[in-house]
Amino acid sequence: MTWYLNSNLKRCRRIILRDIAREVRIGAYDHERLAAQPVIFNIEVFVTTANERDDIANAYNYDLVVDAVDQVIASGHIDLQETLIEAIASKLLVHPAVHAVLVRSEKTQAYCNIRSAGIEIFREKND
């Protein structure tokens, strides 16, 4: 995605968190309801924070991304990855500094001979 061509985002900072590994109660099939399964998350958050002045108190806290993932996972079993990543994106977009997010989830044991099965969305605030 060429986010820097988007006039709403080109002045944003792009925060990237890769390979957030979690055990998630997810899946629409009966066998998926028996136990949690490994899911990898890759998340990009587009924020406006230009006045950090080398002070972490003025920066966007990356922990908020991990917290959003953990809060959605803790809410209980989710049937679809689509539902999971929409919920994470919605939580992240509440923060006033966040203008857009890209959220990807990949189930790493969904198929025997496939590394992962996943989905990705991009959402801007007020979409």
Q: Mean pLDDT, to the nearest integer, of 50-64?
A: 85
Helix/strand/coil for 19: strand
Q: What is the pLDDT of residue 1?
A: 59
Closest CA to 80 of 114, 19, 32: 32
Q: What is the pLDDT of residue 9?
A: 86
Q: What is the pLDDT of residue 119?
A: 97
Percent of the chain topping pLDDT 70: 96
Are 121 and 86 in contact by the 8 Å Cβ rule? The answer is yes
CB atoms within 10 A of CB 72: 21
State yes or no: pLDDT of 4 exceeds 90.
Answer: no
